[in-house]
Amino acid sequence: MQYSPKSRGVFLLAHVWYALSMQSEKKLMFVFFGILAVAALLRLTALGNGNALSDEVLYGFRSISYLDFDFALQQPSTLQLLPGAAPWWTKLSFHDHPPLVFAVQHVFFVLFGVSLWTLRLSSALFALASVWLVYAIGTRLFSKKTGLIAAAFMATDVLMVYVGRVGMQESQVIFFSLLAVLFFVKGFEGQKWLFGVGLALGAGVLSKYTALFIVPPLLIYAALYERTMLRSRYFYASVAVFCIVAIPVCIYNYFLYKTLGHFDFQLFHLFGQGVPYWQVAPGKELGSLAQRLTGIFTNFAHYRSPLSNVLLMAALGMSGYQLIKKGKHGDRRVVLLLLLLAGAITMYAVIGSAVRFLTLVMPFVALLVAWGVSIILHTQSQTRQQTIYALLGLLVFLEICYARNTFLLSQPLGMTPFTYSAIHWDVHDWGFNAVETYLNRALAGQYPALTLPYTYPFLEELHQQNIDRKKTGTAKPARVVVVYDDNIMDLPRLWTFDRRSLYEGWPMISATLYKEVIAGLTRETLSQLGGMEIIFIIPANTRMPLVVKARQTELGSIVQTHLMQQGSVPEEIVNRAGEKEFLVYRFQQQLPGAFNE
Residues 247, 356 within the same domain: yes
Give the pLDDT confidence score for residue 72 in this predicted structure. Answer: 82
Rounded distance between C-alpha atoms, residue 97 and residue 86, angstroms: 18
In angstroms, what CA-CA distances link 520 with 450, 452, 596?
Answer: 16, 14, 10
* pTM of the predicted model as reported, rounded to 2 decimal places: 0.93
Residues 416, 440 within the same domain: no
Rounded distance between C-alpha atoms, residue 286 and residue 280, angstroms: 12
Residue 331, number of CB atoms within 10 A of its CB = 16
Question: Is the distance from CB of 99 to CB of 206 less than 8 angstroms?
Answer: yes
- Domain presence at residue 1: no
Give the pLDDT confidence score for residue 1 in this predicted structure. Answer: 47
Beta-sheet strand order (sheet of 571-574): 508-510, 480-484, 533-539, 580-587, 571-574
Give the pLDDT confidence score for residue 17 in this predicted structure. Answer: 57
Give the pLDDT confidence score for residue 290 in this predicted structure. Answer: 86
Of 392, 425, 458, the domain-final residue:
425
Give the pLDDT confidence score for residue 118 in this predicted structure. Answer: 98
- Domain presence at residue 5: no
Query: Residue 494 sits in which domain range?
Result: 432-596
Q: At what angle do helices 247-260 and 233-245 cross, to 10 degrees?
A: 50
Question: What is the full per-residue pLDDT of the chain (597 aa) written as tens digits?
Answer: 444 445 544 555 555 555 565 557 778 888 899 999 999 999 999 999 999 999 999 999 999 999 999 988 678 999 999 978 889 999 999 999 999 999 999 999 999 999 999 999 999 999 999 999 999 999 999 999 999 999 999 999 999 999 999 999 999 999 999 999 999 999 999 999 999 999 999 999 999 999 999 999 999 999 999 999 999 999 999 999 999 999 999 999 999 999 999 999 999 888 888 888 887 655 455 678 888 889 999 999 999 999 999 989 988 888 877 677 765 555 788 999 999 999 999 999 999 999 999 999 999 999 999 999 988 888 888 888 888 888 899 999 999 999 999 999 989 999 999 999 999 999 999 999 999 999 999 999 999 998 888 989 999 999 999 988 888 778 899 999 999 999 999 999 999 999 999 999 999 999 999 988 887 766 666 666 667 899 999 999 989 999 989 999 999 999 999 999 988 999 999 999 999 999 999 988 655 455 655
Residues 212, 284 within the same domain: yes
Q: What is the DSSP string of 67-91?
A: -S----SSS--HHHHS-SSPPGGGG
Residues 347, 300 within the same domain: yes
**283's torsion region: left (phi>0), alpha (psi -120 to 50) or beta?**
left
Give the pLDDT confidence score for residue 451 in this predicted structure. Answer: 87
Residues 447, 409 within the same domain: no
Residues 154, 77 within the same domain: yes
Could you give phi then psi for residue 413, rounded to 5 degrees?
-90, 145
Residues 381, 265 within the same domain: yes
Question: What total of structural domains would you count in the chain?
Answer: 2
Element (H, E) at 162: helix 158-163
